[in-house]
Amino acid sequence: MTIRVSETTREIVCKSLDIDRLSAVIDMSYGGFSTTADVDREKTKLYSDSNRGSVRLNTGRFYTVKEYDERINRIKKMKLPY
């Protein structure tokens, strides 16, 4: 699927990302996601009006890294029925 943008938009994006051509975005390195970085629920809710993403994220219904680790450990300790 081809996305068409105006020449002005193309110039602005290229300048802000410091690239020569817009197709260079595909080859950019974005780095990995850190498992130690935690998300603040209150900050997520603050910006939820401008985000058109997941309803769960916008309403703060997600696990933080600490909560997820606690949940995993609790599940691992459960005894399964025979």
Identify the band that residue 65 occupies on the pLDDT scale cut at 50, 70 and 90. Answer: confident
What pLDDT score was predicted for residue 34?
Answer: 63
pLDDT, tens digit, 9 for 90 and up, residues 1-47 = 577 888 898 888 888 888 888 888 777 776 655 666 667 777 777 77
Contact between 55 and 71 under an 8 Å Cβ cutoff? The reply is: no
Q: Is the pTM of this model over 0.75?
A: no
By the 10 Å C-beta count (0-12 exposed, 13-18 middle, 19+ buried), 27 is classed as exposed
What is the Cα–Cα distance from 72 to 5, expressed in whole angstroms? 45
In 3D space, the residue among 42, 39, 58 whose CA is nearest the CA of residue 50 turns out to be 58
Q: Which amino acid is at 58?
A: N
